[in-house]
Amino acid sequence: MPRVYNWQIGREMSYPHEERHSQYQFAFVFNPNRCLGCQTCTMACKSTWTFSKGQELMWWNNVESKPYGGYPQHWDAKLLKLLEEANPGKQNWNARKKDPQSMPYGSFDGMTIFEAAEQHPRPEGQQGALGYLPTDDEWRAPNIHEDTATGSHFTKESQYGGSVELPEHKVWFFHLARICNHCTYPGCLGSCPRNAIYKRPEDGVVLVDQSRCRGYRKCVEGCPYKKAMYRPTTRTTEKCIGCFPRLEGKDKEISPTGAPAETRCMSACVGKIRLQGLVEVEEQGGWANDPTNPIYFLVRERQVALPLYPQFGTEPNGYYIPPRWVPRGYLNQMFGPGVDGAIEQYSCPDRELLAVLQLFRANQQIVFRFEIEQGEKVGECEVTMPNGESRTQELFNDTVIGFNKLNEEVARVSIEEPTFERPAGSHVNSI
Ligand code: SF4
Ligand code: SF4
């Protein structure tokens, strides 16, 4: 297999195709600390793209309650087990070897899904990626174990005490919202024997060419996140298309000047946990240095948002601010070795980070650049840090301003939310 560079695992790796990159890359940051599991995003996607015959069990966007929930069921636990069997005891990170540009989280010394497939060819021939095909049963319940917390090992007589105290809750769950990660090295694309899957050169969105697809389901098997889905009525695969007409600024209601807009699931998010962007990609594949792009700022500059299972090797473009009450071992397995640093920053954000966090759901158009206008100090509060120490957080009424691709102002949010008091007697339901 050709060799490509994957900055998330800090090293070169094998991939079935030669290195080639898009001009921009579709990317997003989700903040599970704020997700309320309302499924508004799920229904926004369903009612836009997957409401037809044959798509009944297809949820391009889903929100699962971790650790027990999953769509399809056990998707991540099953793949982690397969990788462990392929490379027993060696699926480890070396977090000491770091470089801010080429290996920001250190280096993953284990096997990716592509390397495991290369080293363990199957009797029917070498596959593009290690994977498995979920059973029909595993797809049928997108919301299984919703809101189910851990804690079965506690008895009435034993300790529930301290079960929900930071830095780690003893009884815990969290909502993990998921869409296709429009990976830089997609497992679906690498597994397709028909070359029916491609990345758009303009924005890196991963699409299935329906005229080439023959429904072999190799992509369903090879996508580690299980976001390529088979449609029995057409006998082809379908998947998230990144709402590309919105990315192209085709919706004049949202983008009167034709600037790129966020997807339906992002725009609908009630909890304001989602921020989507397009980051500029250099010729060699790295992200162009652009610290005023909010996605670049959160992912590369601050590393407060981390990739989902980077060790799978697809370089996913979905990033998550780790939920701060969850046991660290679980989070380290899911988001890699950057978890402690991310939680530390999120627990007590400085002025700049706090301002950028206000851009989540500030507008439906994609923010390409932000500026911050500094305001006066409006308060301070005591924060308990993950190591138990107390820190004083100063709060300033700064204003963050977001600009779209055409450099037009599309968002302006202040830290202190303006409040209005209605005069008594001026509304009909006054008592
Ligand atoms: S998440 Fe899966 S379907 Fe989406 S690009 Fe990556 S490998 Fe392909
Ligand atoms: S709409 Fe937002 S808050 Fe609601 S479930 Fe989806 S991601 Fe979570």
Residue 75 Cα to ligand 2 middle (Å): 21
- % of the chain at pLDDT higher than 90: 89
**What pLDDT score was predicted for residue 233?**
97
SS (H, E, C) the chain: CCEEEECCCCEEEECCCCCCCCCEEEEEEECCCCCCCCCHHHHHHHHHHCCCCCCCCCCCCEEEEECCCCCCCCHHHHHHHHHHHHCCCCCCEECCCCECCCECCCEECCCCHHHHHHHCCECCECCCCCCCCCCHHHHCCCCCCCCCCCCCCCCCCCCCCCCCCCCCCCCCCEEEEECCCCCCCCHHHHHCCCCCEEECCCCCCEEECCCCCCCCCHHHHHCCCCCEEEECCCCEEEECCCCHHHHCCCCCCCCCCCCCECCHHHHCCCCCCEEEEEEEECCCCCECCCCCCHHHHHHHHCCCCEECCHHHCCCCCEEECCCCCCCHHHHHHHHCCCHHHHHHHHHCCCHHHHHHHCCCCCCCECCCEEEEECCCEEEEEEEECCCCCEEEEEEECCEEEEECCCCCEEEEEECCCCCCCCCCCCCCCCC
**What pLDDT score was predicted for residue 160?**
60
Q: Say whether pLDDT at 428 is over 80.
A: no
276 lines ligand 2 (CB under 6 A): no
Average pLDDT over residues 258-267: 98
347 lines ligand 2 (CB under 6 A): no
Most confident of 120-124, 148-152, 187-191: 187-191
**What pLDDT score was predicted for residue 199?**
98
Q: Which residue has the higher pLDDT, 157 or 405?
A: 405
Q: Say whether pLDDT at 431 is over 60.
A: no
Give the model's confidence band at 161: pLDDT under 50 very low, under 70 low, under 90 confident, else very high.
low
Q: Which residues line ligand 1 (CB under 6 A)?
A: 180-183, 186-188, 206, 223, 225, 227-228, 239, 314
| CATH numeric code, 3-347 | 3.30.70.20
The pLDDT tens digits of the residues spanning 205-230 come to 999 999 999 999 999 999 999 999 99
Q: Say whether pLDDT at 280 is over 80.
A: yes
44 lines ligand 2 (CB under 6 A): no
Residue 64 Cα to ligand 1 middle (Å): 18
37 lines ligand 2 (CB under 6 A): yes
The pLDDT tens digits of the residues spanning 134-148 come to 999 999 999 999 999
Q: Say whether pLDDT at 329 is over 90.
A: yes
147 lines ligand 2 (CB under 6 A): no
Give the model's confidence band at 159: pLDDT under 50 very low, under 70 low, under 90 confident, else very high.
low
**What pLDDT score was predicted for residue 152?**
65
**What pLDDT score was predicted for residue 192?**
97
Report the predicted TM-score, pTM, of the whole model to 2 decimal places.
0.95
Residue 335 Cα to ligand 2 middle (Å): 20
Q: Measuring from atom 4 of ligand 2, which residue has the nearest CA?
A: 38
The pLDDT tens digits of the residues spanning 78-90 come to 999 999 999 999 9
**What pLDDT score was predicted for residue 421?**
82
The pLDDT tens digits of the residues spanning 347-398 come to 999 999 999 999 999 999 999 999 999 999 999 999 999 998 999 999 999 9
269 lines ligand 2 (CB under 6 A): yes
